[in-house]
Structure 1
Amino acid sequence: MIKNLLENFSPENNSILWLTSAFILAFFIAFRTFPTIIYISNRKHLMDEPDSRSMHSKRTPTLGGIGIFFSLVVVMTITGAMLNTKVMLLVMGGITILFFLGLKDDLTVLSPRSKFLGQIFAALLLIVFTDTRIIGLSSILDVYTLPYWVSIGFTLFVYILIINAYNLIDGVDGLAGSIALLISIVFSVLFYNTGALSLATISVALIGALVAFLRFNFSSKNKIFMGDTGSMILGFLIAFFTISFISESQLDANSSFYRASPALALSMLFYPLMDTFRIFFIRIFVLKKSPFEADRNHIHHRFIQSGYTHVQTTLTIVLINLIIIIIAFNMLHLNLNTQIGVLFLYGSLLYYLPFLLKRRINKTP
């Protein structure tokens, strides 16, 4: 009976049921895994110790990435046999590399060089063996097609940029997980609508794992952080989704996003990229120090210093990023260069508004 069911079942013809099952399975596995991780972390003292840069005052388990990784691998292993096995295996290979690098960094210390080399290797696995890369700039600066090796190099740069930009925003409760949840939801809809079921399955599984994680990340009693293990895996998957979306759009001249995919991708990644470029500018040109030397000048730190709570900071940033994405989808008819220029303008203004409103509220008697 089971054999006949598997032979006759087609994920493509039952996509809603398939994706719903992937979400439920990922959520259930992650939700059941996190309490065990919290228990072991407390027993073995595998905790994040607050310091001068920490936004928390209590010792907190920092191995949430284990639960995210485990749930994703189980879902991809089960579903991979009926989808694009090659893509599933390579994605699992990439996140496994980053899982062990992040785990070592969370438990002991990992040199930036080792982390960087691991990120390059994981990204190249997917770029080379799936040939999923940014083939051109879609008319940005009048560049349409890139030479093959330039395309690989540029795609690798995008991977490394997104992975590390995403790692930098993991500073207050729920922020990294909520931004990843928003981006994954948008990509799930895009992949579903374009028939990319394998990509939709991975993104939906990530949604399930993140919903479970956020339940504990926002908790006051059973709190857990995702750590470098989680943030690198999330950054890697978001980079993979971004590049896959741009690549597929550029190869399909009939796609609604044929020219607009870079602007849409930038709108989804606006916060982590803006925060990264902003913090590097401040460290290099204002503070005259290494751009990799940690401090408390991130945008989420500014929210906290202005009087916002962790939850208010997270919800405000996620809401602003959602508005940015909605506006980007309503500018598809514009020239791509115009879309990107306007995106930077309204995106920056929207992130300035919460600080302006807070100042006015504080001045009100």
Structure 2
Amino acid sequence: MIQTFFDNFSPQNNALIWLIGAFALAFVIAHQTFPSILYVTMRKRLMDVPDSRSMHIDKTPTLGGIGIFFSIVVVMTTTGAMLNTKLLLLVMGGLTILFFLGLKDDLTVLSARNKFIGQLFAAVLLIVFTDTRIIGFSKIFGVEELPYWISIFFTLFVYILIINAYNLIDGVDGLAGSVGLVISAVFLVLFYNSGNLSLATISVALIGALLAFLRLNMSARRKIFMGDTGSMIVGFLLAFFTISFISQSQTNVDSEYFRASPALALAMLFYPLMDTFRIFFIRIFVLKQSPFKADKNHIHHRYIQMGYTHLQTTFIIVITNLIVVLIAFNMLHLNLNMQIGLLLLYGTILFFAPIIFKRKFHTFKKKRELSLNGRRSSAVK
């Protein structure tokens, strides 16, 4: 009976049911896995000890990436036979490489060089064997198609950029998980609408895993961090989604995103990319130090310093990034160069608006207090 069901069941004809099932499976597995990870990390004292850069004050388990990896791989394994098996196996290969690199970094220390080599190898695996790459600039600055080898190296650069940009925003409770969840949700809709069920399945599996993770990541008592294991895995998948979306749009002249895919990708990843370029600029040109030296100059750190809570900071950044995405979808009719220019302008204003607002509010509050103190002094006299 079960064999008859599978012989007659088509994921493509039941896409919505299929995706709901993949989501439920990922969420349940992650939800059941995290308590075990918490137990082991606390018994073995595999905790992150706060230092001068930390935004937390208590020792916290950092192996949440194990649960994220496990749930995604189980979904891909169980659904692979009915989808694009080659693609799913290659993605799992890349994820596995980064999983062990991240795990080593969380448990001991992994050099930046070895992490970089591992990221390159995982990216090359997908680029070469699936030929999923950015084939051109869609006439950005007049550039259309790139020569093959330049296309390969540029796609590699995008992979490394997105993986590490995502890793850098993992500094406030719920931020990395929420940003990854929202970006994955947008990609899920895009892949579902284009009929790419394999990519939609990976997207929905990541959503399920991140939802289960966020439940504990934002908990006051049983907190867990995704660590480098999780940030590299999620960053790698977001990079893969981005490049896959741009590639499938650029190779389909009938796609409504044929020209606009780079702008939409920029909008979805706006916060991680903007924060990374900003922090590198500050470290290199202002502080005159290595761009890879960790500090507390990220935008989310500035929000905290201005008086926003962790939850408020996460909420503001996620909502702002969603607004940037909506702006991008409403500019599809414009020239691509114009879209990117306006996104950079609007996005920068939106992300710095909360800081400006807090400054104005503090100034107003201070003036009001001085005015009230002056009136009291006059009344006493």
Aligned equivalent of 2:269: 269
How do residues 255-334 of structure 1 correspond to structure 2 at under 5 angstroms? 255-334=255-334
1:295 & 1:219 partners in 2: Cα distance?
25
SS in 1 for 2:82: coil
Cα distance per residue 1:218-238 (max 9 Å; x no partner): 000110000000000010000
The CA deviation at 1:26 is 0.1
After TM superposition, what 4+ stretches of structure 1 lie above 3 angstroms from structure 2?
Answer: none
Cα distance per residue 1:252-291 (max 9 Å; x no partner): 0010000000000000000000000000000000000000
Aligned equivalent of 2:223: 223
Q: Which runs of 5+ in 2 are unaligned?
A: 369-381
> Is residue 48 of structure 1 aligned with residue 52 of structure 2?
no
SS in 2 for 1:225: coil
Aligned equivalent of 1:200: 200
How do residues 5-24 of structure 1 correspond to structure 2 at under 5 angstroms? 5-24=5-24
SS in 2 for 1:35: helix
SS in 2 for 1:290: coil
Aligned equivalent of 1:187: 187
Give 2:232's aligned amino acid: M
2:76 & 2:111 partners in 1: Cα distance?
30
1:206 & 1:257 partners in 2: Cα distance?
24
Higher mean C-alpha deviation, range 354-363 or range 301-310 = 354-363
Aligned equivalent of 2:247: 247
Cα distance per residue 1:310-350 (max 9 Å; x no partner): 00000000010000000000000000000000000000000
SS in 1 for 2:224: coil
How do residues 116-155 of structure 1 correspond to structure 2 at under 5 angstroms? 116-155=116-155
Q: Which runs of 5+ in 1 are unaligned?
A: none
Give 2:197's aligned amino acid: L
SS in 1 for 2:137: coil
1:7 & 1:288 partners in 2: Cα distance?
63
Cα distance per residue 1:108-142 (max 9 Å; x no partner): 00011110000000000000000000000000011
Cα distance per residue 1:39-80 (max 9 Å; x no partner): 111000000000011000000000000000000000000000
Give 1:4's aligned amino acid: T
The CA deviation at 1:361 is 2.4
The CA deviation at 1:360 is 2.6
Give 2:208's aligned amino acid: G
Structure showing greater Rg: 2
Aligned equivalent of 2:372: none
2:356 & 2:144 partners in 1: Cα distance?
40
Give 1:346's aligned amino acid: Y
The CA deviation at 1:352 is 1.2
Aligned equivalent of 1:92: 92
Cα distance per residue 1:66-119 (max 9 Å; x no partner): 000000000000000000000000000000000000000000000111100000
Give 1:67's aligned amino acid: G
Give 2:279's aligned amino acid: I
1:179 & 1:211 partners in 2: Cα distance?
11
Give 2:62's aligned amino acid: T
SS in 2 for 1:7: helix
2:255 & 2:60 partners in 1: Cα distance?
46
Aligned equivalent of 2:160: 160
1:80 & 1:142 partners in 2: Cα distance?
40
> Is residue 82 of structure 1 aligned with residue 91 of structure 2?
no
Aligned equivalent of 1:357: 357
Aligned equivalent of 1:178: 178
SS in 2 for 1:137: strand
Tell me the matched-pair count: 365
> Is residue 68 of structure 1 aligned with residue 42 of structure 2?
no
Aligned equivalent of 2:379: none
Cα-Cα RMSD: 0.5
SS in 2 for 1:144: strand
SS in 2 for 1:291: coil
The CA deviation at 1:19 is 0.1
1:98 & 1:355 partners in 2: Cα distance?
35
SS in 2 for 1:134: coil
SS in 2 for 1:296: coil
Give 1:273's aligned amino acid: L
2:144 & 2:8 partners in 1: Cα distance?
43
